[in-house]
Amino acid sequence: MASDSHSAGPESLVEIHASPSAAVRVLVVALLLVLGSYLYRERSNRERHRCKPVVPYVPYKWPLALDLLKRLYDIFFSDHIFEGLTPYFNIAGTCCIHLSGQTGYFTTDPQNIKAIFSTRFEDYGLELIRRQFVRVQKQNLQIFTPHVNRLVSGIAEAAVEGRVDLKPLMFEYTLNTTTMLLFGEPHGSMDKGERNAVRDNFDHAAFGCGIRVRLADAAFLYNPPKFSKACESVREWATFFAAKAIKCMDELGEETAAERYPFIIDLWKDMKDFELVRDQLLHVLVAGRDSTSVLMCWTLFHLVRNPEVLQRLQQEIASVPAEGHLTREEIHRLPFLRCCLNETLRLYPTLPLNLRFANKPTVLPRGGGPDGNSPVLLKKGAGIAWSVYHLHRLESIYGPDARVYRPQRWEDGELMKRARPGVGYIDFNGGPRLCLGKDFALTEASYAIIRILQAFPNIRLAPEVPNEPVGTERHTYTIGIAPMDGVHCPRP
């Protein structure tokens, strides 16, 4: 008997392993165990944090919410993107959206935004290059002077039919300062043909990237030849400067190269990967040019439409010498200028719409349940979008005139305390996501605005240009939002 039992055991095992039905049963059991473990962890997370599902949702009628997808497509390719999104963000402070069988979330709740930025920052993930900006924040403001002078002279020369559009001049100015910072040479040092080609390719690449961001997972659908060629040209441009800096280091040593190309050499020391260095340069270049230029554009856009505000600022700026180099101390002694910039960043934040995906199960502090006050459990991979554009126009924070350009609201400091930087007021993001070039951008914009208002004391809105209420003006959307129809003033 012992012999029979011994011989039968291995044969039985072989039969089991050889049986397809037995293998399927084992696989099913394993999958059920994994699913059960996942559901148990999800239930435990939900119970531990007392989470409840988000009740408000964006309504739709067609299967897979195809009608909603069509509406969003029309909005994202319109001239009033963010105003088109306003009805959806007005549904609730936190809302869910169902598209193509997937559920995502969007919010304007300051507590949820704080969680994404700060308290649960690790749950979303982001790489930073913070150390390279320490040198930037210590830059002497003399680096801005030649570029500001070129900007001012360009305004005087750029009149067409009695008016000047300041917008392209602002973008040229910030492209010069940013390339000087990153590449050690300003864009303006190139000959006119090359300079215009780089600018045009940069503009077209940024426009295309803005479209691809809006398409999200369907970004691959937008890849026309002109866009691909523009991206390749900008990439080659950045490659040229990165290679030039590395070659300088190889031939003349790190110390000499760091004097000429400090930002690139700092990146190289950290990353030791040429393509990664080039890509980081492009990221900073896009953000550095666009964020400051749109800040300047919208500030002057509203100054010329609000003569009393403009006059008040001109009176303050009169205390600053009109010749020579400006200093940080002189700029810091202009509190109303900072109020104007704060108000611009409130209505037109540098990153008006953001999207992140949870890299593990995480919790939003509010938005769940019928009253929207319970925590919300987000599964790993869940997407959460938040609109700073709409957050900054909440009457609950900014009062009944939240949709009016009124810099005076910032003067006594109480609004900043109530809104709280990084929670209800997010000028350059917040928490660990705080924009690393914030000080550089504010200083760069302040320097230029001061000199423009000093050089052109009679600046005003050009005749026949409409003075639209805030929110009705047409805008373009790439990384930030810019006035589509420009910033027009009479010829100086």
Query: What is the layout of strands, in order, in the sheet containing 94-99?
Result: 94-99, 102-107, 383-387, 353-357
Instruction: Give the phi and the psi of residue 416 in degrees, each rounded to 5.
Output: -60, -40
Query: Inter-axis angle of helices 274-303 and 262-271, to 10 degrees?
Result: 130
CA dist 402 to 81, 121, 424, Å? 19, 29, 13
Structure tokens at 295: 């800040």
Known binder of ligand: residue 435? yes
Q: What is the DSSP string of 96-143?
A: EEEETTEEEEEE--HHHHHIIIIITGGGT------THHHHHHT--GGG
CB distance 352 to 76 below 8 Å: no
CA-to-CA distance for 241 and 383, rounded, in angstroms? 36
CA-to-CA distance for 108 and 392, rounded, in angstroms? 9
DSSP, collapsed to helix, strand or coil, labels residue 80 as coil
Considering only the C-alpha atoms of the chain, give the largest distance between any 2 of them, rounded to a whole number of Å: 112
CA dist 115 to 57, 119, 341, 365, 461, Å? 21, 5, 26, 7, 42
Residues 6+ away with beta carbon under 8 Å from 106: 88, 89, 94, 95, 97, 384, 385, 386, 387
CA-to-CA distance for 446 and 292, rounded, in angstroms? 10
DSSP, collapsed to helix, strand or coil, labels residue 399 as coil
The H-or-E segment that residue 315 falls in is helix 307-317
Bind-site residues: 435
Bind-site residues for heme: 435
